[in-house]
Amino acid sequence: MKTVFSGLKPSGDMTIGNYLGAMKHWPKDQGKHRTIFFIPNLHAITTRQDPIQLKKRTLDLVAWLLTVGVDPDQSIILVQSMVPQHAELAWILNNYVTMGEMSRMTQYKDKAKKAGPEGLLVGFFDYPALMAADILLYDSNEVPVGEDQIQHIELTRDIAKRFNTIYGDTFVVPKGVIPDTGARIMSLDNPKIKMSKSDHPDSSISLTESTDSILKKFKRAVTDSDNKIAYDKANKPAISNLIEIYSGFTDASVAEIEKKYADKNYAIFKSDIGEIVAHKLSLLQNDFNNIRSDEASLYSIIDVGNSKASQIASEKLKIVKEKTGLL
Ligand code: TRP
């Protein structure tokens, strides 16, 4: 059976970009494949976090996974810091990747440009080694991620192959998978940058946003110059992004949406999309609130997931230690 593995960092409130690009797709593989979803909180601390917020967001994320249909009986749900094999394998893998390879990671380069060497933490530089450990511990075949993480998966593949070449087959070489829709939801006020909670408040919609605020933000969303609802990512990036969001929330195809709005203007489209997103989110929020309010159940789900994960992870780590001569 194939293993599908992915995770979402608890470093900000979840947005509709995280929902459409990741979470929404995860339950689909359940039953068909071995599915493992995790909360990479050790990755979150590579940028400074408020401890109370970090803890809250970790539990929030577990509750969101359950809300969107990740089923703890069919999937393993784990929290990275609670399965110590992740950090342990990451340390070992550090020695199978070079400074040069790490320095070529776009996410690191972008941040290094902005923050300079004194503003960057070593953990942030080393982030891809921990990500490789996450993935390789579970013999993951497929790793669904957003486009911006593909380079890290490529590096994971290189690390796995390098290790296998030296010590014989040890790790499954994973494949990064980008979802057909929603892989790159852009900011509402600037379609050139990815939607992110940390930008301007008008740029993103959080999963906990109120109906009023959702309607307002879609009304204010930037659009392109002609007043036509047509998908053309290169020439009409703003409306194309809105069409992708519309499609993600309704499961209507781009062609169906274009047809439906062929003789309508941006104002009508923006008001409709606002209503659709607000309605869907209010249903999800209802379920989320119920699930989130029972922390004891969340902890027991995490406990079960962690112990299943740790069984798999410790077997892999044992093999790695044997091969490398670590007692
Ligand atoms: N780096 C990923 C992100 O920012 C999160 C992540 C950490 C991850 N480890 C992973 C995703 C392993 C997939 C597999 O989105």
DSSP secondary structure letters along 168-203: SS-S---EEE--SSSTTPBPSS-TTSB--TTS-GGG
Q: What's the whole-number mean pLDDT along residues 102-115?
A: 94
Q: Are residues 233 and 86 in the same domain?
A: no
Using the predicted structure, report yes or no on whether residue 183 has a pLDDT greater than 80.
no
**Structure confidence at residue 202 as a pLDDT band (50, 70, 90):** confident
Ligand 1 atom closest to Cα of residue 5: 14
Whether the predicted pLDDT of 196 surpasses 90? no
Task: Examine the domain organization and report whether 98 and 222 are in the same domain.
Answer: no
Query: pLDDT at residue 198 above 80?
Result: no
> So what's the pLDDT on residue 147?
87
- Closest ligand 1 atom, CA of 43? 7
Q: Give the distance (Å) from ligand 1 centre to CA of residue 132.
A: 9
Over residues 221-232, the pLDDT tens digits come to 999 888 899 999
The answer, yes or no, to whether any atom of ligand 1 lies below 6 A from the CB of 75, is no
CATH number of the domain that residue 273 is part of: 1.10.240.10
Catalytic (active-site) positions: 111, 194, 197
Q: How far is the CA of 149 from the centre of ligand 1 (A)?
A: 7
Which pair of structure tokens corresponds to residue 257? 């949406």
Element (H, E) at 5: strand 3-7
What would the mean pLDDT of 272-299 be, rounded to a whole number? 98
> pLDDT tens digit string along 126-147?
999 999 999 999 999 999 998 8
Q: What's the pTM value of the predicted model, to 2 decimals?
A: 0.94
pLDDT at residue number 103: 97
Residue nearest to atom 9 of ligand 1 (CA): 131
Q: Write the pLDDT tens digit of every residue in 34-88.
A: 999 999 999 999 999 999 999 999 999 999 999 999 999 999 999 999 999 999 9
List phi, psi (to 5°) of 251. Answer: 65, 15
Ligand 1 atom nearest to CA at 140: 14
Compute, in angstroms, the gap from residue 44 CA to the centroid of ligand 1.
Answer: 10
Owning domain of residue 144: 3-182+295-324
Of all atoms in ligand 1, which is nearest to the CA of residue 8? 5
115 vs 21: CA distance, rounded Å: 27
Residues 61 and 154 in one domain: yes
What spacing in Å lies between the alpha carbon of 52 and ligand 1's midpoint?
A: 22
Mean pLDDT of 256-268: 95
Give residue 182's pLDDT.
Answer: 77
Separation between Cα atoms, residue 144 and residue 152, nearest integer Å: 12
Q: 86 CB under 6 A from ligand 1?
A: no
| 174 and 262 fall within a common domain | no
Q: Let me know if residue 225 belongs to a domain.
A: yes
Q: Is the CB of 90 inside a 6 Å radius of any atom of ligand 1? A: no
* Residues 301 and 276 both lie in one domain: no
Q: Of 227, 229, 206, nearest to 277 (Cα)?
A: 206
